[in-house]
Amino acid sequence: MEQRDFSFKKYAWQQFKKNKPALISLYILIALVFIALFAPVIANDQPLYCKYKGETFYPAFSTLVNPSKLDSVVNPETGLAEVLQFDITDWRKLDLEKVMWAPIPYSPDKGDRYNREYVSPFDEQRYKNSDNQIVAIPNRLRHIMGTDNIGRDLASGLIHGTRISLLVGVLAMGIASIIGVFLGALAGFFGDRNLLMPRSKYYFTLLGVFLAFFYGFGVRKYTLANAFTSGNGIWELVISLILIAAIIVGMRLLSIVFKFGWLAKEVSVPIDTFVSRGIEILNSIPRLILIITISAIFVRSIWLIMVIIGLTSWTGIARFTRAEFLRIRELEYVQAAKSLGYSNFRAIAKHALPNALAPVFVSIAFGVASAILIESSLSFLGIGVPDDVVTWGSLLNLGRQEFEAWWLVMFPGFAIFLTITIYNLIGEGLRDALDPRLKS
């Protein structure tokens, strides 16, 4: 009865909870996700709520929907209307009757003209009040982590940079996971002998792969480069992927016409050799150098960085998936599925794959940390994201320009260190919890 009621998911969660560093890291990651999701509310130079001349406004929330929202108030004494454009109005200069500021009352891309030239968190800070007087800034409006050379608030940059770092890690490893799991599953399940295909389909598929990548990426490279510049890169990339799939499917259908005689005989497709040699070739190239080279060809874009990291990070996942499938394909339940006449796709997707994902999740956790570190390295070198996008790496790069501004090195560096560490600890916790050899 005990064995029948056993749930590996519950068992894995119980094992994971026993690893205190991994559990604490998971809670910190949840906090980082919360910060990333609500960054515009946590750090914003516009009030969350204010009352001005009898009118109530919610500027921080209104600009999320319409950044250049316009509104007006009427002075009850003079009868004159005052137009307010929320994104450019300096709300600190207004004589607000009531106001609720964000916890960090600054936006990452706007400079404070009264606190320029690398103001330390402990230096004297000033601002212009509603009476147009430059006075000492109240504690509520202080730059708690200092500013850069043009007065941008570091704390706000760190909070909004959390969104970029987590997004890069998740999306890049999402792309890598899809490629790695797909290729690893094919290589491990079929090997070099178990995937049979008519010669016509085999040769036309190889020709189709070559033509697909040539037309999908080679011919459309300028279109993709311009699209990433204008912000439509993901859609153009999807179009390229659809084009690649259509060409490969079209060539496979065309092969039916030539399926006769010698071309109709079945041959073994060495899919394992293709995938293994591809992994070795990609691993033999220094990944950071490869990413830098590709980034230099195209215009800088955060989406392009995510795609490049994802396309160069799938090898580890593919190797783990292949190794698991080499083991699982010989187990009784997979052999039973084959004996019952199930298709290879059903045997892979429904029976083999769910039992092969445990080590893949561990690899993904480590991969997310690696992707964040790569993006931070590229931004630190000035070849990653565009200059108007605030990331932890770009903030760290500002500290390189002014060595005395220690806060520009310490705080972004600690944020990168903390995030990389918690992902690694979560990965180690998953590895221990999902290891079937520890199951009793």
> Judging by DSSP bridges, how do beta strands 55-57 and 49-52 pair with one another?
antiparallel
Mean pLDDT along residues 180-184: 91
What pLDDT, on a 0 to 100 scale, did the predictor assign at position 251? Answer: 92
What pLDDT, on a 0 to 100 scale, did the predictor assign at position 336? Answer: 85
Based on its alpha-carbon atoms, the radius of gyration of the chain, rounded to whole angstroms, reads 28
Gap between the Cα atoms of 143 and 158, Å rounded: 12
For the domain covering 1-44+152-195+269-440, report its CATH number.
1.10.3720.10
Q: Which sequence spans correspond to the domains of the chain?
A: 1-44+152-195+269-440, 46-101, 111-151, 199-253
Gap between the Cα atoms of 161 and 149, Å rounded: 18
Sign of CA dihedral 161, 39, 61, 51: negative
pLDDT digits (tens, 9 = 90+) for 108-149: 888 888 888 888 888 888 888 777 788 888 888 889 998 988
With pLDDT > 90 as the criterion, what percentage of the chain qualifies?
Answer: 16
pLDDT over threshold 90, residue 28: yes
What pLDDT, on a 0 to 100 scale, did the predictor assign at position 440? Answer: 46
pLDDT digits (tens, 9 = 90+) for 198-248: 888 889 999 999 999 888 888 887 787 777 666 677 788 888 889 999 999
pLDDT digits (tens, 9 = 90+) for 68-115: 788 888 777 666 788 888 888 888 778 888 888 889 988 888 888 888
- What is the pLDDT confidence band of residue 24, given thresholds at 50, 70 and 90? very high
Gap between the Cα atoms of 199 and 181, Å rounded: 26
pLDDT digits (tens, 9 = 90+) for 351-372: 788 878 777 888 888 888 888 8
pLDDT over threshold 80, residue 6: no
CB 236 within 8 A of CB 185: no
pLDDT digits (tens, 9 = 90+) for 400-410: 877 788 898 89
Gap between the Cα atoms of 61 and 365, Å rounded: 34
Comparison of pLDDT for 302 and 50, the residue scoring more:
50
Mean of pLDDT over the chain: 84
Gap between the Cα atoms of 161 and 310, Å rounded: 20
Gap between the Cα atoms of 197 and 265, Å rounded: 8
CB 39 within 8 A of CB 159: yes
* Least reliable range by pLDDT among 6-10, 13-17, 324-328: 6-10
Give this prediction's pTM.
0.81
Produce one character per residue of 57-75: b if its CB has 16 or more CB atoms within 10 Å, e if not: bebbeebeeeeeeeeebee
* Least reliable range by pLDDT among 310-314, 316-320, 354-358: 354-358
Nearest to 107 by CA among 66, 56, 63, 167: 63
